[in-house]
Structure 1
Amino acid sequence: MITTEQNDELQQCTQRLEAIFSKVFEQLETLAEQVVTVWDALAAEGRKPTSKDLAFLQATIEERLSSNDTYIHGTGVVLEPGELADQELFLEWFYRPASGKIAPMMLNFNRQSESFYNYQGMPWFTRPKLTLRASVEGPFVDLYGTELYILAFSLPILAGGRFVGVAAADIAMHEFDQLLTRCLLRMQNEAFIINGEGRIVAANSTNWFVGNMASRPAAAKVHKLKPLSIDWSLVELPTPR
């Protein structure tokens, strides 16, 4: 039988997790709004934006990455091909490398190269484009960028009702997992968080491994995390940990 205390634990943990995710999306919304402001102003002038028109975002991005309480490893905006007058593919993106000094992300957009970075096929770009909703993808290894095990948060940027790109953030799992697990460890029973694929993102018991697939047992209590537009859930089992 689930006690009132356990119900309270589940609700409190759910609320904490929702607050963590909401904070990331709030920061991305700020970036998206800044891009839309520029797009609207340039549209009124009758001209197309260029990569230089996005340089002002650097200050906002660096402020986010420099914050003492941030778990964002890299963030910025990634544009729909053809949106700029001077670049076909473009991103205004900065990250925190091992040195700790914030640096711009340099990727290869040469279509003839073997190392061509084609973000048009990446789920964190395609899902917001197709659904016009926020997305969280992963965890996965960022092979073309930092080679870290990450979660990719993204939301669509809409200017004049038209998709022009995404505002996105990479969260390093080794840092983010501490926040998620800290919350789960306050629960008496075994519990884990699963993403839309049914893959475990965090758990409070060694019986469940991050990255493995897990179903939602019939006897479990499942809470969908509201800030996410995909099916992420907190699952509590009737088993003391």
Structure 2
Amino acid sequence: MTDVGMTAVNEAFGRALDAVNAYLNHWLEPLGLLADEVSAAIEPASVGSLRDEDLAGLAEGMIRQLEASPDVIGHGFVAAPDVMSGLEHYLLWFQRRTNGIRRLKLNLSATDPDLYDYLDTDWFAGARRRVGPVLYGPYVDYAGADFLVLTIAVPVMVGERFVGVAGADLDPDAVESALVMRLRNLPGDAVIVTEDRSVVASGSARWMPGERLAAHPSSEPDGWLAQAALAPWSGWSLALAAPA
């Protein structure tokens, strides 16, 4: 390819990279707002003695966010251990179902073998470890949504203390459609992949969502016209190959 041709490719790739990053980052705004609302609702001295009713005022905003965002399946707050009085696990989480928006009820009893133990999940533990946003999936959330989701979580801090995460479960099909729209004008076959090489979206039929590439584009960049990491918190990359 000529220098002029590669310049055009790189310019188009840069525009697509910006568009995809803008789409990913726009999900952080409502989660950041929720994290701030949860933090404001918790007095530092009350951490460890909080009860469900202390956070009840947050429910209306969670429901409004779900009503305003058809691509969001679930939305809410997930507490760290010893934040709620007498509870190691606690969720104030609302979910969209066919019969409307309902609060999610899961088995959170520490003595039950069917406990939904979210503490070691990639999205919860990742947000806690990084003290920043994380994206995990798509994956089948058997215990929570019971279908395929993408989860974004941001840490909730009260002072210097991590008290949980504000999170959202996104519909992967809706996310894929939104991403494909931003790849359509690229002069080649574009693909968005996770750190483990799983395809999230593709601008052509060359790759299908869920397929795993033989090698990550960052490890073999010479095989691509262009490749770059997307928003660092996402762990995703965008790569462009010559048309097959």
**CA gap 1:10/1:156 in 2 versus in 1, 3 angstroms:** same
User: In structure 2, which of residues 18, 21, 29 is the aligned counterpart of residue 26 of structure 1?
Assistant: 29
Q: CA deviation at 1:44?
A: 5.8
- State the alpha-carbon separation in 2 of the partners of residues 12 and 83 from structure 1: 44
**CA gap 1:24/1:189 in 2 versus in 1, 3 angstroms:** same
**CA gap 1:196/1:43 in 2 versus in 1, 3 angstroms:** same
- State the alpha-carbon separation in 2 of the partners of residues 204 and 131 from structure 1: 31
Which of structure 1's runs of 4+ aligned residues deviate more than 4 A? 44-47
User: In structure 1, which of residues 201, 222, 229 is the aligned counterpart of residue 227 of structure 2?
Assistant: 222
Q: How does 1:1-241 map to 2 (within 5 A)?
A: 1=1, 2-39=5-42, 42-43=43-44, 48-67=49-68, 69-99=69-99, 101-214=100-213, 215-216=216-217, 217=220, 218-220=222-224, 221-226=226-231, 228-237=232-241, 239-240=242-243
Contact 2:44 2:159 in 1 (8 A): no
Contact 2:48 2:83 in 1 (8 A): no
- State the alpha-carbon separation in 1 of the partners of residues 209 and 35 from structure 2: 31
**CA gap 1:103/1:46 in 2 versus in 1, 3 angstroms:** closer
Q: Secondary structure at the match of 2:23?
A: helix
- State the alpha-carbon separation in 2 of the partners of residues 164 and 30 from structure 1: 15
Q: CA deviation at 1:45?
A: 7.3
- State the alpha-carbon separation in 2 of the partners of residues 10 and 56 from structure 1: 44
Q: CA deviation at 1:12?
A: 1.9
Contact 2:47 2:84 in 1 (8 A): no
Q: Secondary structure at the match of 1:240?
A: coil
TM-score (norm 2): 0.89
Q: What percentage of residue pairs aligned between the two structures are identical?
A: 26
- CA deviation string 1:75-115 (max 9, x = no partner): 1110001101253311110011123x111111111233342
Farther off after superposition, 137-146 or 109-118: 109-118
- CA deviation string 1:117-141 (max 9, x = no partner): 0011211101111221211011111
**CA gap 1:150/1:123 in 2 versus in 1, 3 angstroms:** same
Contact 1:51 1:86 in 2 (8 A): no
- State the alpha-carbon separation in 2 of the partners of residues 62 and 26 from structure 1: 16
- State the alpha-carbon separation in 1 of the partners of residues 21 and 149 from structure 2: 18
Computed over aligned residues only, the root mean square deviation of the Cα atoms, in angstroms, reads: 1.9
**CA gap 1:63/1:46 in 2 versus in 1, 3 angstroms:** closer
